[in-house]
Structure 1
């Protein structure tokens, strides 16, 4: 295992705390094919890293992650077989993250949308700036919210609230997301680093095995839930990738207009 092979994720160390930074700031850290593939192997690699006991996940620039890159989505529309690989990777991302032994803190420095939201709420602790927003707008681009949204949001926020936000794709201000149980805390931007560093240091100085195994005990029901139900959501997402609705949405956003979800694009 080596972290040197990553090109869209960068790493830094502070004692036994390892920070992994999604590093596509020019695209607001939206996932393209390369970043998505690297995320699929990231969490097992972080778990195996001998120089760390605590992991911090964050984004470069002003965003945590804006979700999926539009050009990448268009490529999946043009070549549907590629989307099957994306789904396999999405499964590896979610299960890899939930199955990690090391404690994982999401430092949500800005917008966490779509996959970005899933990465945040799948972390053990998610600390956001009060100016951040979190949301899963898959439906806004004609896709099923399967890569964490349909699976985890009901567990965190309850089914009624999860339905409202997943069926509309509406973004949620970080303080409200804390109230809903989707984030752990929201602090002023100037306090974000101190809040995350203090928490990471406390975990790094604690009883490593007890912390890891407590985390594993907590996450076992989520892992079992994911293994039982995630594939059905992904199957629906594969179907939605091949709809006229999705093609219209991607085309509309590329052209800078609102999608027209008429009966003809159903």
Structure 2
């Protein structure tokens, strides 16, 4: 960042996210908040696009030595906005746009050498969960519920999970939670290794900030290069991730996604049987 540049100038285009420097510019910590609390920070077109770009901006901001990402209000992110998802079902052009952005969220978080800490203060689903778990250090409330609900919608788990869940919690647990779409709480997520730390709800953001301050105070080059080296494990998984993302988008063009979306809107169980009416 050039001398005298204000955080609001550099990040002004990101109107679905809010930014703060709790310790000032010299502290080196940037706090990013998914900022749509009335809708529990659900991911719509604007927020999804901005999440796909913000980590490139952070990578270019030399004043930031650590990042904390959290959600406004009582949720981290309640998943994809249903009206936005409806625009994608059966629409090839929209599906291609979303596929690029979803891939960019994962790839830019991997390639951003600045360490990222997530403060998972409430429910996390969909693209919000991708950001929460792709962070280098994840702090979650012990009672917070998370789920990768792609199967419930009738699409393959393509946002992020194939890239990182087997590395975090092992293949057996990854398959169980991704194939069933069962939810789990923060305490269980920590037990199986899916997150770094589970703490009481009122300690989530303070703990994440404590970790970020420790990272920001450390040797910048050594910290960034350690992250870069560790993330080569994730880069090896990118072909698997790209396949999962393509399969997810293919499913959005089929009948199961339409049924899954209708079931969510009508608050009923979906009927994915082959002879179900389309």
Structure 1 residue 233 corresponds to structure 2 residue 244: yes
Scaled by the length of structure 2, the TM-score of the pair is 0.91
Larger mean CA deviation between 81-90 and 193-202 belongs to 193-202
After TM superposition, which residue ranges in structure 1, 4 or more long, deviate above 4 angstroms? Answer: none
Structure 1 residue 99 corresponds to structure 2 residue 111: yes
Question: Quick check: 2:121–2:205 contact (8 Å CA) kept in 1?
Answer: no
Correspondence for 2:268 among 254, 257, 260: 257
Alignment-derived partner of residue 67 in structure 1: 79
Alignment-derived partner of residue 31 in structure 2: 19
Scaled by the length of structure 1, the TM-score of the pair is 0.95
Question: Quick check: 1:115–1:136 contact (8 Å CA) kept in 2?
Answer: no
Correspondence for 1:204 among 216, 219, 222: 216
CA displacement at 1:78 relative to structure 2: 4.9
Question: Quick check: 1:128–1:185 contact (8 Å CA) kept in 2?
Answer: yes
Structure 1 residue 193 corresponds to structure 2 residue 205: yes
Larger mean CA deviation between 117-126 and 192-201 belongs to 192-201
Larger mean CA deviation between 150-159 and 82-91 belongs to 150-159
- Give the Cα separation in 2 of the matches to 1:252 and 1:121: 27
User: CA RMSD of the aligned region, Å?
Assistant: 1.5
- Give the Cα separation in 1 of the matches to 2:202 and 2:240: 40
- Give the Cα separation in 2 of the matches to 1:205 and 1:198: 11
> Which blocks of at least 5 consecutive residues in structure 1 are unaligned?
none
- Give the Cα separation in 2 of the matches to 1:69 and 1:30: 5
Alignment-derived partner of residue 154 in structure 2: 142
Question: Quick check: 1:99–1:223 contact (8 Å CA) kept in 2?
Answer: no
Alignment-derived partner of residue 7 in structure 2: none
Equivalent position SS for 1:167: helix
Alignment-derived partner of residue 50 in structure 1: 62
Equivalent position SS for 2:12: helix
Alignment-derived partner of residue 29 in structure 1: 41
Alignment-derived partner of residue 124 in structure 1: 136
> Which blocks of at least 5 consecutive residues in structure 2 are unaligned?
2-9
Question: Quick check: 2:43–2:81 contact (8 Å CA) kept in 1?
Answer: yes
- Give the Cα separation in 1 of the matches to 2:230 and 2:50: 26
Alignment-derived partner of residue 4 in structure 2: none
Equivalent position SS for 2:272: coil
Equivalent position SS for 2:53: helix
- Give the Cα separation in 2 of the matches to 1:193 and 1:73: 30
Alignment-derived partner of residue 221 in structure 1: 233
Correspondence for 1:4 among 12, 20, 25: 12
